[in-house]
């Protein structure tokens, strides 16, 4: 997808709002309002000019460029916020300035991706291009901040109560749970283009999507609970099935698919909102504590709200904690600046990655390196490709969803070279090969006897198992499916199914089952 299209996707809500703003006749405005509008227009023009000057300074490696650009962006955000409150101010005029800067950002980001290196400071994309990459990253974040000031953002604020329970939830997210909040945001950024459109089409606030996902799974697509809930939105099997989730016929449970899970979640929430007087709190209580219970409590109370004592006390402690925690995460998503919260910048321009040789996500994670991130790319790759287990061997030619940055790092470090070789060595290492037979040993009294293990075939140079050693069977572990096992061992899935008596359409495999690896390349 072109960079510009990705950037402007963030502006879709703003575009709709801008078109809905009534066109005011300047002559009908009071002199005070007209003067205020003129002042805002001048402030926006001045801030845009300061940003452009900062971009030139960055290109010339002049000091202070980043600080100047940040100040200009903050002033532009303030102008947008003030414009929405000022009679006669045309929001679409203010948005035009942001769009012009987004065009500059698109060009700079494309150049930044081409020059990306990850051999410097782990939190510095490229020491030689830090300034221009930093400036390029600022504009989409400003666009996000501005878009969250739109009508839907304010609508969410009005739909929920900012009370002491929510404030306590904010305190928890900003203290002990701050790492989880930051992880949730980074994971959501990679998934946003997949999940947000479903909520947008359903007329639901983006903050609500983020809040639920942060509390349910921290944005980990493969999350499961002891109760059996699964996926980024944690659907129980029966509820998910009602909303179109479940086995897709290949052995994959679509509760783990972020796009399908978001669609089901939006449909579920709108159904609850319709039953519960459009109460966000009661709908969240149903999401966590069961729709039947929520409806009974609501009807039995005569339609009173969640925070009414007679209603509140009929929900279990988990639900009484869940509702304010989701709202608190959503509130922080909408108002980070107010709390001194700076969400990390994430490079999410989408791309595809076609494997030139067999690999697993584990192997890719190693050879890709950190790429300027804190934790590397394993979670991003798993979230973007939910059908694959991290240790599943994927044949050459497999196409993975990725980002432009990941694709660039793959071509640079994972196809050939020392990092590619090292990654392959590490993922193929067999701990049993470290134990060698050197003759009989005298057991020490009172301690268990250790029986030396004879290693399997290894390469002479590295001591790691040879790639052509073919296991004869596989013992299924939790989460294994016919597809994942076939991919791991490069098997013909139909041959593998026939050899083990697995019947369509479910091809059910149970934990501990021993499968004969027939029709497999390794």
Question: Residue 165: what pLDDT?
Answer: 97
Q: Looking at residues 163-179, what average pLDDT do you find?
A: 97
Yes or no: say if 285 and 220 are a contact pair by the CB < 8 Å rule: no
Q: Which of 270, 252, 282, 314 is nearest to 487 (CA)?
A: 252
Decide: helix, strand or coil at residue 350.
strand
How many CB atoms neighbour CB 6 within 10 A? Answer: 17
Q: Which of 505, 370, 510, 502 is nearest to 519 (CA)?
A: 502
Strand 399-403 vs strand 473-475: parallel, antiparallel, or unpaired?
unpaired
Decide: helix, strand or coil at residue 508.
coil
From CA 430, how far away is CA 504, in angstroms rounded? 35
From CA 304, how far away is CA 172, in angstroms rounded? 28
Each residue of 408-449: pLDDT tens digit? 999 999 999 999 999 999 999 888 888 887 766 666 666 555
From CA 329, how far away is CA 322, in angstroms rounded? 11
From CA 262, how far away is CA 248, in angstroms rounded? 16
Residue, of 515 and 182, whose pLDDT is higher: 182
Q: How confident is the model at residue 33 (pLDDT cuts 50, 70, 90)?
A: confident
Checking if the pLDDT of 103 tops 90, the result is: no
Structure tokens belonging to residue 30: 């009071």
Structure tokens belonging to residue 5: 């299209």
Q: What is the DSSP string of 366-398?
A: HHH--TTSSS-SHHHHHHH-TTS-TT--B-TT-
Question: Residue 23: what pLDDT?
Answer: 44
> What is the distance of C-alpha 88 from the center of its chain?
38
| 336 CB burial (10 A radius; 0-12, 13-18, 19+) | middle
Question: Residue 92: what pLDDT?
Answer: 74
Residue, of 520 and 363, whose pLDDT is higher: 363
Structure tokens belonging to residue 170: 């904010």
Structure tokens belonging to residue 296: 């009974």
Q: Looking at residues 91-106, what average pLDDT do you find?
A: 68
Question: Residue 136: what pLDDT?
Answer: 41
Decide: helix, strand or coil at residue 187.
helix
- Backbone φ and ψ of 231, nearest 5°: 90, 175
Helix (H) or strand (E) segment spanning residue 135:
helix 130-147
| 467 CB burial (10 A radius; 0-12, 13-18, 19+) | exposed
Each residue of 474-520: pLDDT tens digit? 888 877 787 778 777 777 777 888 888 887 666 788 888 988 888 77
| 129 CB burial (10 A radius; 0-12, 13-18, 19+) | buried
Question: Residue 50: what pLDDT?
Answer: 86
* Half-sphere exposure at residue 245, Cβ-oriented, CA atoms within 13 angstroms: 29
Checking if the pLDDT of 135 tops 70, the result is: no
Could you give the percent of the chain with pLDDT greater than 90?
48
From CA 484, how far away is CA 491, in angstroms rounded? 10
């Amino acid at each position: 997808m072109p960079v510009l299209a990705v950037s402007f996707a963030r502006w879709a809500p703003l575009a709709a709002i801008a078109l809905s703003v009534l066109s005011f006749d300047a002559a009908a405005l009071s002199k005070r309002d007209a003067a205020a509008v003129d002042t805002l227009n001048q402030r926006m023009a001045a801030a845009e000019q300061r940003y452009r000057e900062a971009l030139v300074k960055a290109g010339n490696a002049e000091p202070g460029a980043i600080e100047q650009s940040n100040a200009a962006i903050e002033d532009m955000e303030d102008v947008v916020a003030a414009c929405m409150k000022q009679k006669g101010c045309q929001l679409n005029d203010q948005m035009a300035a942001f769009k012009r800067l987004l065009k500059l950002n698109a060009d700079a980001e494309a150049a930044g991706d081409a020059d990306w290196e990850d051999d410097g400071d782990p939190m510095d994309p490229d020491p030689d291009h830090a300034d221009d990459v930093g400036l390029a990253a600022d504009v989409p974040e400003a666009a996000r901040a501005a878009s969250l000031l739109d009508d839907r953002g304010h609508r969410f604020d009005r739909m929920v109560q900012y009370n002491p329970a929510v404030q306590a939830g904010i305190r928890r997210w900003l203290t002990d749970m701050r790492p989880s909040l930051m992880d949730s945001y980074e994971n959501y950024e990679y998934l946003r283009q997949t999940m947000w459109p479903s909520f947008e089409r359903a007329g639901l606030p983006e903050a609500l999507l983020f809040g639920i996902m942060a509390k349910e799974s921290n944005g980990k697509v493969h999350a499961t609970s002891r109760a059996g809930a699964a996926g980024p939105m944690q659907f129980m099997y029966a509820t998910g099935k009602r909303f179109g989730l479940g086995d897709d016929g290949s052995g994959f449970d679509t509760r783990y698919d972020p796009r399908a899970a978001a669609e089901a979640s939006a449909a579920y929430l709108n159904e609850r909102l319709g039953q519960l007087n459009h109460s966000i709190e009661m709908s969240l209580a149903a999401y966590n504590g069961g729709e039947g219970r929520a409806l009974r409590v609501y009807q039995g109370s005569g339609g009173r709200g969640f925070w009414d004592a007679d209603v509140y006390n009929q929900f279990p402690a988990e639900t009484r904690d869940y509702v304010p925690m989701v709202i608190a995460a959503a509130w922080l998503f909408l108002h980070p600046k107010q709390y001194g919260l700076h969400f990390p910048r994430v490079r999410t321009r989408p791309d595809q990655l076609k494997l030139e040789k067999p690999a697993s996500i584990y192997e890719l994670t190693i050879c890709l390196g950190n790429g300027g991130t804190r934790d590397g790319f394993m979670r991003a790759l798993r979230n973007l490709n939910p059908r694959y287990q991290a240790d599943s061997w994927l044949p050459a030619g497999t196409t993975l969803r990725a980002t432009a940055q990941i694709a660039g790092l793959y071509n640079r470090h994972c196809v050939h070279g020392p990092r590619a070789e090292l990654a392959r060595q590490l993922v193929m290492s067999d701990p049993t090969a470290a134990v060698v037979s050197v003759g009989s040993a005298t057991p020490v009294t009172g301690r268990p006897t250790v029986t030396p293990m004879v290693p399997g075939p290894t390469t002479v140079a590295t001591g790691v198992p040879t790639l052509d050693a073919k296991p004869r069977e596989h013992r299924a572990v939790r989460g294994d499916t016919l597809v994942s096992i076939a991919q791991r061992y490069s098997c013909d899935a139909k041959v593998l199914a026939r050899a083990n008596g697995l019947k369509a359409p479910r091809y059910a495999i149970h934990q501990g089952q021993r499968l004969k690896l027939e029709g497999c390349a390794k």
